Amino acid sequence: MADENNSNNKSKLEETLISSQPVIPEEVTSWLGRLVLLYGVPFNYLIPNEQMLLGNETKSNGSGAAVGVEPEPGANTEGSLRFFFLDPIWIQCVVQGACSVGSNGYGDRIIDSAINELVQPNEPDKNNQPSLANRKAAGVRDRLREQYEAVPMPQEDTSLDWPLTGFLLRSAVVEGWRGLEVMAYRDLSEQEKQHLTATLSGKANEVLEKAMNSKQSRGLHAELRDFLREQNSTDLNRLLTLAGVQTEEALSKLLVESVKPLRPLRIEQLSNDVMIGLFNGIIAQLVIRQPQEGLHFGLTRKNQSYSKTLRDLGYKTKAKAGENLQDKTIDLSRDNLMRDISTGVINIAKLAAEMKKELSNLGLLNPDKPGNFTSAEFAVEMIEAAGEFTYLPAIEQLSI
């Protein structure tokens, strides 16, 4: 009988503590929020064996995505990209352990139990309301950007949308290209697709319908790009608002590939060549690109020489300006356009003359000045945008 009374009293005390919503210091909830995103967790706890970061090579599947292939014997496999789920039970134990530090008595354990109800991550969860740690974890990156980059905090109140997924990238690219841009996208649900179909109209809805009934997206991206170029700023902003995205790139991927941007929770360089990323949901696409200031003149290395694929100048069709011309490639070694092939020195004047000749034969020069091939045309042919790779991880949600 005494044990039953003690149990009842303990339960009532816990309920009282929880219902009274004790004020937890901001520093504590912020620290716990960062802990949920693995800040402060030693790297060897996350990756106990370095062999886990030695991965297979990747090759393009022809659509801009990368697929894993088995490495050849003796091949360099130091680079890798690993995708993962964040185990909510593991995170729950981490937070619970942090909250129990210093407990040494019966009363402390009761208080810890009540506090844990308030600060545990949202999954698994007995309550419908997101916990303090949940909300703080969702806003960690926003607060850091506000502090160090003066980026305003978003207006909406966000919380974690479990299950969370992320990636670990080990590559020389991490060290060689400071400021890598990383974006993740999630698949749209059937309900979201139906809502988009009902909300959008005109050309945008036409592209959406085509995308849902076709697996070929390259032509649709170009078709939508031409349509968006014709819109004034007011109509474009209205379309972005209706679609619930902020950029033309996100709109294009939404309508053509049925994916929507995932909120980044943490993107950080852990060491010279290792980067971690955590996102608020399940990753369907991961896009990694060099910083945009990497715009430069460039050629494609081919054996011991270089080649250059010609581009449309847009004089016939403005929308095609900058598009690659299929099977129209200049081989610099074959055409004797290298001053010194051993040092990679190019004869720029001869290369420009060869470009002019090829484009003239194709009828792609300025019709008003057919003999002109100025620095502007040369720049269109030579410019190389920052490199970009899209990965399509086969991540499936498993029941726990």
Burial of residue 369, with CB atoms counted within 10 A of its CB: 0-12 exposed, 13-18 middle, 19 or more buried = exposed
Report pLDDT for 16: 55
Q: What is the mean pLDDT of residues 37-48?
A: 87
Residue 58, pLDDT score:
42
At 27-40, the pLDDT tens digits run 877 888 888 899 98
Question: Residue type at 158?
Answer: T
Distance CA 189, CA 166 (A): 20
pLDDT band at 291 (very low <50, low <70, confident <90, very high): confident
Share of the chain above pLDDT 70, in %: 75
CA nearest to 55, candidates 169, 165, 166: 169
> How much is the pLDDT for 334?
76
Neighbour count for residue 375 (Cβ, 10 Å): 9
Average pLDDT on 391-397 reads 76
Model pLDDT, residue 237: 86
DSSP secondary-structure letter at 302? Answer: E
DSSP codes joined into one string, 214-252 = -S--HHHHHHHHHHHHTS-HHHHHHHHHHHT-SSHHHHH
Rounded Cα gap, residues 67 and 71, in angstroms = 12
Per-residue pLDDT tens digits for 295-308:
788 888 877 778 89
Q: Tokens 């294009």 belong to which residue?
A: 252
Encode pLDDT of 59-89 as tens digits: 433 333 333 333 333 444 468 889 999 888 8
What DSSP letter does each residue of 184-223 carry, written as one string? Answer: EEEEPPHHHHHHHHHH--HHHHHHHHHHHT-S--HHHHHH
Instruction: Tell me the domain boundaries of the chain.
Output: 2-38+88-161, 175-280, 296-384
The pLDDT tens digits of the residues spanning 167-221 come to 999 988 888 888 889 999 999 999 988 888 888 777 777 777 776 666 555 567 7
* 373 has pLDDT over 60: yes
Tens-place pLDDT, residues 97-141: 887 776 655 545 555 555 555 556 654 444 556 666 777 788 888
pLDDT at 64: 34
Quick one: pLDDT at residue 92? 82
pLDDT at residue 353 in the model: 92
Give the pLDDT band of residue 397 (cuts 50, 70, 90). Answer: low
Determine which of 5-14, 77-86, 281-290 has the lowest per-residue pLDDT on average.
5-14
pTM for the model stands at 0.74
**Quick one: which of 29, 30, 14, 27 has its CA closest to 112?**
14
Whole-number Å distance between alpha carbons of 393 and 399:
18
Which residue has better confidence, 95 or 73?
A: 95
H-helix or E-strand spanning residue 359: helix 348-361
Give the Cα separation of 308 and 381 in Å (integer): 8
Q: How far is CA 275 from CA 82, 181, 211, 288, 290, in A?
A: 11, 12, 33, 12, 14
d(CA 161, CA 203): 33
Check residues 150 and 356 and name the one with the higher pLDDT.
356
